[in-house]
Amino acid sequence: MGISKYPSVVTMPEAQTPYPSIVEFLSKTFPNISRDRWAERIREGKVLDDRGNPIAAETKYSPSKRIFYFRETENEPVIPFAEQILFQNDEILVACKPHFLPVTPGGRYVEECLLNRLRGRTGIADLAPMHRLDRETAGIVIFSVNPKTRGLYHGLFMHGKVAKTYRALAEVNRPPRENQWMVENRIVRGEPRFRMKTVPGVANARSHIELLEVQANRGLFSLQPVTGKTHQLRLHMSGLGFRIVNDRVYPDLEPERDDDFDRPLQLLAKMIRFHDPASGKDMEFRSERELLW
């Protein structure tokens, strides 16, 4: 059984009266965990209020209050690849994530995530990721170290002031007439929910894509996302007819199976650049990882 050393948090939203019980709220919010299991966690003192005290079965639902809990999973997979710390100061930590490792706890992954690995290595329990990468994608992730300046870095990402460059290897069945594209469309959640899709409407996803080189029906691409929608680059590449090598979701959803560590998704967050709001310096970080031709 894998149990996180660090609590996760959920906020009780406004709800119609009569309010649900805490167990009802948690089991509805996290349907993959049974009502009985939530009741058991509460009895064991594993669910806390915002003062750090264990809640009881009779604790009342309270809108806007937070509940803290510790993620649990049985038979947590081990990801046999190491992360790298590229930079660290009093404000931020910059790491390079390997393929297959999630950024934060979720699903079957508790301790096997970049956030908890870095907490263990650095002893900084209050680390917080400023952005996300797909579990299958490798590359650079920035974490906030200092809660007092965290909002400054959040603002960079919210207002599009962070330049990101990715590299991708994709299937190129015939030489295209162009080598540069600006893809703009609207991305929403599809079915199943983890799979995104494009729909008509106002564009909310934009990417600049450039083909750099072609070898033996594979192309090396540079991708610069203007926005940051889930699976944006994978969907935009697929929409152009370029399936990223080893993509199990786009354009076609493959049957679920265990990870094949010899066949990582060939997508890498290669570079990130921004003007540091705390130091006033221009910052640029590059991953030393390479894709597999």
- The CATH number linked to 222 is 3.30.2350.10
| Domain boundaries, position 188 | 165-267
Q: Does the pLDDT of residue 138 top 70, yes or no?
A: yes
Q: Kindly state whether residue 81 falls inside one of the protein's structural domains.
A: no
- Beta strand 196-199 pairing with 72-73: unpaired
Query: Looking at residue 54, which CATH number applies to its domain?
Result: 3.10.290.10
Domain count for the chain, please give it. 2
Q: Kindly state whether residue 193 falls inside one of the protein's structural domains.
A: yes
Q: Contact at 8 Å (CB) between 245 and 218?
A: yes
Alpha-carbon Rg for the chain, nearest whole angstrom, is: 21
What are the C-alpha distances in Å from 48 to residues 40, 43, 147, 226? 13, 11, 22, 39
Q: Contact at 8 Å (CB) between 140 and 151?
A: no
Token couple for 81: 């690849």
Span 55-76, pLDDT tens digits: 998 999 999 999 999 988 888 9
Identify the pLDDT of residue 125. 93
Give the residue from 73, 95, 119 where a domain finishes: 73
Token couple for 202: 């106002």
Q: Contact at 8 Å (CB) between 223 and 165?
A: yes
Identify the pLDDT of residue 108. 87
pLDDT band for position 46 (cuts 50, 70, 90): very high
Predicted model pTM:
0.86
Q: CA 95 to CA 128: how far, in whole Å?
A: 12
- What percent of the chain shows pLDDT beyond 90? 87
Q: Kindly state whether residue 283 falls inside one of the protein's structural domains.
A: no
pLDDT band for position 220 (cuts 50, 70, 90): very high
Q: Kindly state whether residue 69 falls inside one of the protein's structural domains.
A: yes
Identify the pLDDT of residue 193. 85
- pLDDT, average across residues 38-50: 94
Q: Kindly state whether residue 187 falls inside one of the protein's structural domains.
A: yes
Cα–Cα–Cα angle for 181, 183, 186, nearest 5°?
175
Q: Does the pLDDT of residue 1 top 70, yes or no?
A: no
Span 154-171, pLDDT tens digits: 999 999 999 999 999 999
Q: Kindly state whether residue 32 falls inside one of the protein's structural domains.
A: yes
Q: Kindly state whether residue 25 falls inside one of the protein's structural domains.
A: yes
Q: Kindly state whether residue 202 falls inside one of the protein's structural domains.
A: yes
Q: Does the pLDDT of residue 107 top 90, yes or no?
A: no
Give the residue from 47, 73, 99 where a domain finishes: 73
Give the residue from 73, 97, 116 where a domain finishes: 73
pLDDT band for position 269 (cuts 50, 70, 90): very high
